[in-house]
């Protein structure tokens, strides 16, 4: 069964039931959930409001700030 084969069980030559392998999860989210790494939300809800970071204007992209900071540190 682990190799993915199907097993048919008969009773005196009559098919009684068929054992098939459990389908594997597809996609990253399904895989991580099946492995217990990702825990789906238990209740729908809204994301919290972003926190304000001292010294950074709210309209500035944090990603751009990080990239600029890395560029400054490299040299």
pLDDT tens-digit readout, 53-63: 787 777 888 88
Q: Which of 33, 8, 29, 36 lies closest to 20 in space, CA to CA?
A: 8
Residue-by-residue DSSP string for 12-47? TTEEEEEE-PPPPP-SHHHHHHHTTSS---SS--PP
- Interval 13-50: pLDDT, tens: 999 999 998 877 789 988 899 889 999 888 878 888 87
Q: Where are the domains positioned within the chain?
A: 1-40
Strand partners for 11:
14
Q: What is the pTM of this model?
A: 0.33
pLDDT score for 38: 92
Q: Are 64 and 72 in contact (CB under 8 A)?
A: no
Dist. CA 16–CA 13, nearest whole Å: 9
């Amino acid at each position: 069964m682990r190799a993915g084969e199907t097993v048919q069980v008969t009773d005196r030559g009559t098919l009684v039931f068929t054992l098939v392998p459990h389908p594997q999860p597809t996609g990253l989210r399904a895989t991580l959930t099946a492995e217990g790494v990702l825990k789906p939300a238990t209740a729908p809800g809204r994301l919290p409001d972003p926190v304000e970071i001292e010294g950074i204007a709210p309209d500035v992209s944090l990603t751009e700030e990080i990239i600029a900071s890395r560029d400054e540190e490299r040299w």
